[in-house]
Amino acid sequence: MSMNTFNWKVAGLSGEGIMVSGLIFSKTSSRHGFYIFDYTEYPSIITGGHNTYQVHAGIEPVYAQKEKLDLLLAMNANALVEHLDELTSNSLVIFDSSDDKINIAEFNLPCKSLDLPMVKLAKEMGATRLMGNNVGLGASAYLLGLDLEILNSVIHDIFARKGQEVVDLNHKAAKAGYEFARNAKAAGQLGNWDFAAFEKQEYPESRVTFTGNEAVALGSVAGGLKLFAAYPMTPSSSVLHYLAAHEDKAGIVVKHAEDEISAINMALGASFTGVRSMTSTSGGGFAYMTEALGLSGVSELPLVVFESMRPGPALGMPTWTAQGDLQFVVTASQDEFPRFVFAPGDAQEAFEMAKLSQELAEKYQGLVILLSDKYLSESRYTAELAVTKLSHERHGFNQNPVSDETGFYPRYKIDKENAISMRSVPGQQGGEHINNSYEHDEYGLATEESQMRISQMDKRKRKLKLMKSEIPQQFYSGSLEDEITFISFGSTKGPLLEAQRQLAANGKKVGVLNLTWLSPFPIEQVSKVIKESKRVVVVEGNQCGQLANLITQETGIKLEENYRRYDGRPFYAEEIIKFINK
């Protein structure tokens, strides 16, 4: 057990309130002013699978899930079987022998346990079986030194829409669990087990916790998103769910289209009228959308595509994580055109980059792909929303377009000094032009003429130079003294930072360079860090080393050492440390 953190997990049957119980415990932790990282696992079936929700909390920032548990709330016997390996002699297990006929001696636990009659206590007070989960939360709160009042405030906020009676019953259940645990401990039932509870911290006004997908959705709204069209696909669907549920408050229009092809083409249609638009999907749906990416490219229409990766090929493993679509999204299209590809590393970056994506798509009149994965999309992170009031200027709109002697407006005017030509939108007199899927001339009319083809290709490519000027410093936490420099992209940032911290505690210095800009690529910084590093290890969630290959392609530097996984599971700091100590 490391100082001033706890690692708590609830596990049980999916469909039995595991997710909401986990969320309540996470919010309770956050409202104590703790940083949190929540990780969930669930199978791709309707009901009856094993479901877990893990909260890693601490008074210093926490970056990822941890393997070893301080407290396991096992809602059934299977939860004990599944997570036995995650227990140490310092752990504690809460279970309910009366509910799932558990004979705890059979499990040979390495640690103490508390037999908590969650269902019985709930039913005694007239509550339902599922409300028994709150008995478990109450006991967890006592044992980890959390404030029952704060737990109750979260229970209130979560269940308020179900009425005061439900809130009251859940409060009673939480209190019963809290008191049962207190009495059990006082009676010596937990033996010498103890948890060194830590103090409540300041809870800043700007503090939030959200999942990567919620961060993307809110960041997009903050960035001026107006039209969102999508087709559900795990693990991207919660972006659609969030935006649909908040359509009114966000002042946007959300369309669940009949398929991904329709979704992306609707977004492009709306973009043609001048509104900021977006679609979202996972790898399979992104494959459907590929043809329309080229349409955004050739007709210079702003578009943001959110792609949350899961293992493939084809349908792969829907509810698990992967980074195997990198190579695909960087080049997906017929022929060539410049694009932005961003892979935020945590929810804070997801919020900021989703906001930025709306801006840059309009500014550069083209495609932005925002890349996530199940791990970032559905894990919950602590973040700060410092700014909640935003004002955006518009880019590239000609307020008074004038058609020339052709009767058309030169929307795609060739100007070697200005790569970005001014748009007109339908409804503007004098702005008539064609937004064309085919190669086109300056007015958008189709052409197969050699010189015009070259001119328009070159015009689009000229934007790349300006796009490169936007590249910020990539996240780099390290120094020349580091024994190892890890290079990663996207969500792998968290486990690497966690590994860095654990290694530092043991006197081993390692650095982390996490890339969020994959196109255009931060060539200078990456080259410099590699050249100055003693030993570089590329860590990524795919089989063939797509990031390592991209680095070689962009910098000419070949990297030999790597740590990869492609089993659908996220990286764990403990395993990264094991790998480098090999």
Partner 1 sequence: MSVKAKPAYPFKPTWCTGCGNFGIWGAIKMGIGALGVPKENVVMVYDVGCSGNMADFNDHYGFHALHGRALPVAAGIKLGNQDLKVLVIMGDGGCYGEGGTHFINLMRGNHDVTLLIHNNNRYSLTTGQMSPTTRKGTKTKSTPVGSIEEPFNPIAIAASNNAGFIAREFAADIPKLSARITEAMNYDGFAMIDILQPCPVYNPAMSYEWYRENVISLESEGHQSNSREAAWKQAMRADKLATGLFYKEDKPSYHAQVKNLQQSSLTKQPISDIDISSLAVEFK
384 to 443, contacts with partner 1 by CB under 8 A? 385, 388-394, 406-408, 425-438, 443
Minimum CB separation of residue 37 from partner 1 in Å reads 15
Q: Which one of the spans 13-21, 141-149, 319-327, 446-454 is the region binding partner 1 (CB under 8 A)?
A: 446-454
DSSP state of 317: -
Structure tokens at 366: 């083209």
Minimum CB separation of residue 304 from partner 1 in Å reads 14
277 near partner 1, judged by CB under 8 A: yes
Single out the residue of 82, 291, 470, 574 in contact with partner 1 (rule: CB under 8 A): 291
252 near partner 1, judged by CB under 8 A: yes
265 near partner 1, judged by CB under 8 A: yes
Residue 495's SS3 state is helix
25 near partner 1, judged by CB under 8 A: no
Structure tokens at 6: 């706890």
- Which of 176, 122, 145, 179 lies closest to 28, judged by CA? 145
Residue 78's identity, in one-letter code, is N
Single out the residue of 106, 199, 248, 481 in contact with partner 1 (rule: CB under 8 A): 248
227 near partner 1, judged by CB under 8 A: yes
The Cα 473–Cα 525 span in angstroms is 7
Q: Which one of the spans 65-73, 173-181, 192-200, 208-216 is the region binding partner 1 (CB under 8 A)?
A: 208-216
Residue 399 CA: distances (Å) to CA of 351, 430, 464:
31, 11, 25
Minimum CB separation of residue 440 from partner 1 in Å reads 8
The Cα 470–Cα 325 span in angstroms is 24
| Footprint on residues 329-388 left by partner 1 (CB under 8 A) | 385, 388
- Which of 139, 141, 121 lies closest to 131, judged by CA? 121
Minimum CB separation of residue 383 from partner 1 in Å reads 8
How many CB atoms lie under 10 A from the CB of residue 391? 5
Nearer to partner 1, 44 or 273 (CB): 273
229 near partner 1, judged by CB under 8 A: yes
| Footprint on residues 167-196 left by partner 1 (CB under 8 A) | none
263 near partner 1, judged by CB under 8 A: yes
H/E stretch holding 184: helix 164-186
226 near partner 1, judged by CB under 8 A: yes
Nearer to partner 1, 89 or 388 (CB): 388
Minimum CB separation of residue 424 from partner 1 in Å reads 8
What values do phi and psi take at 340, rounded to 5? -100, 135
The Cα 312–Cα 333 span in angstroms is 19
Minimum CB separation of residue 207 from partner 1 in Å reads 7
SS3 for 526-575 is: HHHHHHHCCCEEEEECCCCCHHHHHHHHHHCCCCCCEEECCCCCCCCHHH
What values do phi and psi take at 277, rounded to 5? -135, 165
The Cα 325–Cα 335 span in angstroms is 19
Single out the residue of 176, 292, 361, 370 in contact with partner 1 (rule: CB under 8 A): 292
Nearer to partner 1, 240 or 512 (CB): 240
262 near partner 1, judged by CB under 8 A: yes
Structure tokens at 118: 């969650």
274 near partner 1, judged by CB under 8 A: yes
Minimum CB separation of residue 199 from partner 1 in Å reads 20
How many CB atoms lie under 10 A from the CB of residue 362? 27
Nearer to partner 1, 397 or 566 (CB): 397
Cis, peptide link before residue 410, omega less than 30° from 0: no
Q: How many residues interact with partner 1 (rule CB under 8 A)?
A: 77
23 near partner 1, judged by CB under 8 A: no
Helix axes 493-505, 573-580, angle to 10 degrees: 60
448 near partner 1, judged by CB under 8 A: no
H/E stretch holding 83: helix 77-83
Minimum CB separation of residue 401 from partner 1 in Å reads 10
Minimum CB separation of residue 151 from partner 1 in Å reads 15
Q: Which one of the spans 128-136, 271-279, 544-552, 553-561 is the region binding partner 1 (CB under 8 A)?
A: 271-279
DSSP state of 5: E
